[in-house]
Structure 1
Amino acid sequence: MKTTYLKLSLSAVILLGIYSCKKGEATASEYELSVNADSASVVASDSISSAATMNVKDKQFIKTADVNMEVKDVYEATISIEKSVQDLGGFVTHSNLHSNVISEDIYNTSSEDAMLVKKYQTENTMQVRVPTAKLGELLTLINTKKLFLNSRSINAEDVTSGIKYAELEGKRIKKTGEDLSQLKTNKDKVKMSDENRSEENLQQLANMDVTDNLKYSTIDIYIKEPKVRIAEIAITNTKNIDNKYKFNFIHDAKNAFVEGFYLIQKIAVGLIAIWPVLLITAVIIYFIRKRKPFQKPTQNISE
């Protein structure tokens, strides 16, 4: 029995999004609505708003949106979007603004100065969350920043049946807890009670996630600049500086003389350190020569 309870609860958590508060503040729209557009067919502001805020009676939806577009200035557009999100009561969960350097070259302008020229493109990947009721308004504001709209999609996941099923699961878990309280205390009861409380905790956690997703919509935004930018940065002519100090004959000759003197000292110290070896070698050579028999030279007498 306890295994059945656990399987049913896990199924509710994984497949159905679990129970949500009956008084969720999210607005509704059509089930699995998807809107795609490009710059050739620009959707009017009121159309954007109606697509994102359409209501369907007795339905609850988790809404998400995705926008991919090109803008004149990524940094300016990022600041504007972040401010709009804040004004609408939302918040930014991710923002990764960076420049992709295409090339960089150094041009010497004098013996001391040079110019670093960088060619680059700037882009930003953002994720923001706003109250679901403000989703259409934010998409309208974002739309005003575009030069070219690559794509835009608005999705609504119908979680009405999942919420109803989660309500039933909540009642089941509560009833199971009441039934367990009436059993005689033993090891099995303690284990089953602990598993039941674990199911209840998982369900409450999922409830908070679903409620949060109903209240706030998530928008993924990718923006980039269509043209290459050029940055000119004044720097020092390092090549000329390197040549200036690359070689100094007097200084290097002086160092070489001093290093040679130190080398002689190190050799003398090394010989002193091995004096026992030298002494033994000298003694061996002495005895070898002393033990060598003396041969008297022979003289040939011719008659």
Structure 2
Amino acid sequence: MKTTYIKLSLASALLLGIYSCKKGEATISDAEYKSYTEADSAAAIVSDSVSSAATMKIKDKQFIKTADINMEVKDVYDATISIEKSVQELGGFVTKSNLQSNVVSEDTYNTSDETAMLIKKYKTENTMQVRVPTERLGELLTLINDKKLFLNSRIINAEDVTSGIQYAKLEAKRIEKTGENISQLKANKDKVKMGDENMSEGNLQQLANMDIADNLKYSTVDIYINEPKLRIAEIAITNTKSIDNKYKSNFLYDVKNAFVEGFYLIQRILIGVVAIWPISLIIIIAIYVIRKKKLFRKTNQI
């Protein structure tokens, strides 16, 4: 599972903590930290089929957990419904489910003059992304594992963010002190500008802290499932070739059209001849002159 988004969110929280902001801006509080620790400690231990990274619980440590699963199942649709149902029962939610069938081949076979059979060979796959409470991640992975025919890969990440959270708390104290110092400055344009910038930076920090808290509370699981063999779909359709042959030729209609088209052809020829009358006149005159000359020569020879 790629943790780019999570790492960026954490980096944003740490970097934004460097700046000053008004007193009381949101950070990951001691109460929130304690609640996450208690939730992890209270989580039940799942079966040995799940990696320890998914159920790891260490005192005074906090982990952002993610997973990436690629496996083959007997029926993609049934597995999708089952996984989505399990996620909801565990208190999670589905953020993406892209179920599609990739057609490998498609052939049509005529079975009678009216009907035919369309045969499609295809493979079904689904790319999913779900989020589940972190303390229930191990349970979800166990349920998903039960659906597999063959596991291509499974990646589980547990990123230790404890030091980052503690650093954010230290920065919160510094920010509070800086905010007090700003409030004691003499009122002028610079103070207004600094206050506005601090408020904007504080809002960004609050958003980053919310992302960190959300990623601690919910684990993200990317799932790719497909079927190992091709499926075949038999679809009854109309025999289009028979329909085409039925209306391909109509003798009386075609004869009528041929007669009319022949009449129009004669008209076009006559119009063409009339259109080139100067050329026709020149040719006639040339023929007449040539014949006259030949006749005059024969007369002289006699």
Q: Aligning the two structures, in what range does the TM-score lie when normalised by the shorter sequence? A: 0.7 to 0.9
* 1:151–1:49 distance in 2 versus 1, CA, 3 Å: closer
CA distance in 1, matches of 2:251, 2:97: 56
Checking the alignment, whether the CA contact within 8 Å between 1:21 and 1:207 is kept in structure 2 is no
Amino acid of the structure 2 residue aligned with 1:204: Q
The range that moved more, 65-74 or 173-182, is 173-182
CA offsets 1:194-247 (integer angstroms, 9 cap, x no match): 111111111100011000000000011111101111111111110110111122
Aligned to 1:126: 128
* 1:252–1:46 distance in 2 versus 1, CA, 3 Å: same
Aligned to 2:23: none
Aligned to 1:159: 161
* 1:235–1:183 distance in 2 versus 1, CA, 3 Å: same
**Structure 1 residue 14 displacement after superposition:** 6.3
Q: Secondary structure at the residue paired with 1:45?
A: coil
**Structure 1 residue 175 displacement after superposition:** 2.4
**Which of 218, 234, 253 is 2:236 aligned to?**
234
Aligned to 1:250: 252
* 1:264–1:166 distance in 2 versus 1, CA, 3 Å: farther
Aligned to 1:135: 137
Checking the alignment, whether the CA contact within 8 Å between 2:16 and 2:205 is kept in structure 1 is no
Query: Unpaired runs of 5+ in structure 1?
Result: 1-9, 30-43, 266-303
Aligned to 2:20: none
Determine whether 1:20 maps to 2:2: no
Q: Secondary structure at the residue paired with 2:50?
A: helix
- Identical columns (%): 78
* 1:253–1:182 distance in 2 versus 1, CA, 3 Å: farther
Q: Secondary structure at the residue paired with 1:48?
A: coil
CA distance in 1, matches of 2:199, 2:28: 18
Query: Unpaired runs of 5+ in structure 2?
Result: 1-8, 18-26, 41-45, 268-302
Aligned to 1:179: 181
RMSD: 3.2
Q: Secondary structure at the residue paired with 2:228?
A: coil
Aligned to 1:192: 194
Amino acid of the structure 1 residue aligned with 2:147: K
Aligned to 1:276: none
**Structure 1 residue 264 displacement after superposition:** 11
Checking the alignment, whether the CA contact within 8 Å between 2:16 and 2:201 is kept in structure 1 is no
* 1:196–1:256 distance in 2 versus 1, CA, 3 Å: farther
* 1:264–1:168 distance in 2 versus 1, CA, 3 Å: farther
Amino acid of the structure 1 residue aligned with 2:171: E
Amino acid of the structure 2 residue aligned with 1:77: A
Within-5 A mapping of 1:1-303 = 13=12, 19-22=27-30, 23-24=32-33, 25-26=35-36, 45-48=47-50, 50-254=52-256
**Structure 1 residue 257 displacement after superposition:** 6.3
Amino acid of the structure 1 residue aligned with 2:113: S
CA distance in 2, matches of 1:63, 1:120: 35
**Structure 1 residue 168 displacement after superposition:** 2.1
CA offsets 1:157-193 (integer angstroms, 9 cap, x no match): 1111111111222222232222212212222111111
CA distance in 2, matches of 1:242, 1:68: 47
**Structure 1 residue 131 displacement after superposition:** 0.4
**Structure 1 residue 46 displacement after superposition:** 3.2
Amino acid of the structure 2 residue aligned with 1:119: K
**Paired residues, number:** 249
Aligned to 1:275: none
CA distance in 1, matches of 2:16, 2:189: 32
Checking the alignment, whether the CA contact within 8 Å between 1:17 and 1:163 is kept in structure 2 is no
Amino acid of the structure 2 residue aligned with 1:138: L
* 1:173–1:118 distance in 2 versus 1, CA, 3 Å: same
Q: Secondary structure at the residue paired with 1:168?
A: helix
Checking the alignment, whether the CA contact within 8 Å between 1:129 and 1:218 is kept in structure 2 is yes
Q: Secondary structure at the residue paired with 1:46?
A: coil
CA distance in 2, matches of 1:16, 1:182: 25
Q: TM-score, normalised by structure 2?
A: 0.73
**Structure 1 residue 252 displacement after superposition:** 4.2
CA distance in 2, matches of 1:12, 1:192: 23
CA distance in 2, matches of 1:133, 1:246: 70
**Structure 1 residue 45 displacement after superposition:** 2.7
Q: TM-score, normalised by structure 1?
A: 0.73
